[in-house]
Structure 1
Amino acid sequence: MHPPAEAVGRDSTDATDEEFDTWRALQRATDKKRADIIADIVGHPQGAPSVEELDYMNPPLSSDAIRRHLNTLQDAGVVRVREFEPGNRLRNFPYQFFELTDNARELFDQNGLFPEAAWQRQYEAVEKTSRIRDVETMPRPDG
């Protein structure tokens, strides 16, 4: 498990450049299921979807499987968690959101992986329920 982050819009910090293992990050990110999750993170209008949104976009995966993949990506320094403090949570809405780390975005850009414009068009083309649209547009914790 990961230690909780500390601030109001809490987020786990990027690994330092010395700690970020590009080879490990690429290995973890190019697994088909994890690559699909990353594509949805990149394509998300706010760049920080919740597990609920990722679950909707990846019907073959359970929410538990998505969480396991997110943990793997977090361990590799590819994604970080942003979450609301307990007192700032909206009832019946997610409180955790996942975004790419700066190191991962730079690595993907250098290697032509996960181009934002293409994945944003793909994400927008998916028909969504009103619940998913509501979650998609809700505020995110400060990063």
Structure 2
Amino acid sequence: MDHTYQRPLQLPAGYAVLSAEEMTYTEGGALSINITPQQVMAFGMTVTVNLLGMMGRYAFQGAVSGMQNALNDGLDVGDAVGHYWGQLNTWSKVASIGLAGLGGYYAYIQARSIYLSVKNLVTAIKESVDEYKANKNAAQETEQQNCLPTLVALC
């Protein structure tokens, strides 16, 4: 019976022979972690944004369910808000006000972003129209200069 270890070793066509000294400088599967400060900051910002979003969703869902329960119990809207606000402890009230402020700031940022996008679009369209008119006028002037003096009226 022929065993594989009894035959000569066959290497692939594109192999490279390394000496023992060169082998000491290869990593050979060692765990290497290269984390930059930018990656740490990006991770921290992502965690913060996700945490605030989760807290905001939880607070909003709690407020909606509390208002629904109060309205289902026969209270009008003003009394339902007063009842719900009265059940919150101090930290819940602070968090509600803070999250409402963050929500308002987010709405402001989105509205400003939309405004600036529309403004840039209108400016780009206006510049394109002005450029088109200028090119058209320049082409007409060039055409008139190329006409013979006797045929200017025909151009």
Q: Larger radius of gyration, structure 1 or 2?
A: 2
More helix by share: 2
More strand by share: 1
Bigger RCO (CA 8 Å, 6+ sep): 1
With structure 1 as the length reference, what TM-score do the two structures score?
0.22
